[in-house]
Amino acid sequence: MAEAPEKNLALDIVRITEAAALASARWLGRGDKEAGDNAAVHAMRVSFSTLHIDGTVILGEGEKDNAPMLANGEKVGKGVGLGLDVAVDPVEGTSLLAYGRPNAISVVGVSSRGSMFNPGPSFYMQKLVVSHEARNVIDLDAPIKVNLNSVAKALGKSVQDLVVFVLDKPRHQRLIEKIRAAGARIQLQTDGDVIGALMAVDPHSDVDIMMGTGGTPEGVLSACAIKGMGGQMLARLDPQSYVEKEAINEAGIDLRDVLTVNDMVRGDDCFFAATGISGGDFLRGVRYSARYAVTHSLVLRGKTGTLRYVESYHNMDRLSKFSAVQY
């Protein structure tokens, strides 16, 4: 049965990621991770307060990053209207921002209340992310070479033409060796596994697949976008310490379970926005001129799969006269 277009919340939440990006971009390359993150958190809090939603933060700032808190369980919005689960990362890649490196972004994902996977005390998960064309050919437990061959075939490429996004971490030494042995190319980045997942599913990106262990909150947040773009992420909780493993067991979460995007975000009523802070190949960073600050964002609605790239020109003189956000 045909439906009239509904309100696209992604066009509201992109104002939140824009505000966080504008506030934190002033700290680009200044070596202060906490100051940049603090600026983004404050901007997000203020911007959320203007929305007519009844939101609960399921995945926010927290213990792993010793960050200023947009804490799990915190209420956001005016407390009226749609009941939503909310995932935020005011600055994904605080080190990237602090040291002036590319691909720091600000990210928000929302879904209908009760639909977002809550990983509890889990900080890390193993992830395998691919685009729509390869969504049915991957297996988290298959050898690296088998997955690469399957993805290459699905994309109509040779393995040698694939680009694999991997976080440049000591835990990935063997993974990197196996990818190289299979003949695929690798894009190594020090931080930013949300942007790695986005690049793996975005048709404009050179990245074909993301592999490796990254943040659990970032995985669920990425699922909001991957779901709408028709890609797939297979994931399994991958604790990096005994304390984390015991906490997950005590929470009753099975470490053997393989999660899909449909497990992490149930239903299609989800929305996603990301705004570039420090720039890069995927989203351009905040750029300043005499009158304007220019932002570049990705906006997605899960139900329709509509993907928008938004370039916004913010008149900083006018904004500074009334905005509670310190730009």
- The pTM assigned to this predicted structure is 0.92
Other beta carbons within 10 Å of 136: 10
Q: Is 193 annotated as a binding residue?
A: yes
How large is the average pLDDT for residues 245-273? Answer: 93
Which pLDDT score is estimated for 276?
A: 96
Structural domain boundaries of the chain? 9-115+269-322, 124-264
Q: Is 77 annotated as a binding residue?
A: no
CATH 3.30.540.10 fits 9-115+269-322, yes or no: yes
Q: Is 246 annotated as a binding residue?
A: no
Q: Is 171 annotated as a binding residue?
A: yes
Q: Is 215 annotated as a binding residue?
A: yes
The two three-digit tokens of residue 305, written as one number: 């799969």
Which pLDDT score is estimated for 5?
A: 46
Average pLDDT, the chain: 91
> What is the C-alpha radius of gyration for the chain, rounded to an integer number of angstroms?
19
Burial of 160 (0-12, 13-18, 19+ CB in 10 A): exposed
Query: For the domain 124-264, what is the CATH code?
Result: 3.40.190.90
Give yes or no for a contact between 238 and 124, defined as CB atoms under 8 angstroms apart: yes
Q: Is 124 annotated as a binding residue?
A: yes
- CA neighbor of 17 nearest in space, from 304, 312, 318, 242: 312
Q: Is 93 annotated as a binding residue?
A: yes
Highest mean pLDDT (candidates 38-47, 141-150, 296-305): 141-150
How large is the average pLDDT for residues 106-121? Answer: 93
The two three-digit tokens of residue 327, written as one number: 């730009």
Q: Is 74 annotated as a binding residue?
A: no
pLDDT tens profile 50-77: 999 999 999 987 655 555 567 888 999 9
Q: Is pLDDT above 70 for 160? A: yes
Determine which helix (DSSP H) or strand (DSSP E) holds 68, and give its type and residue range: none
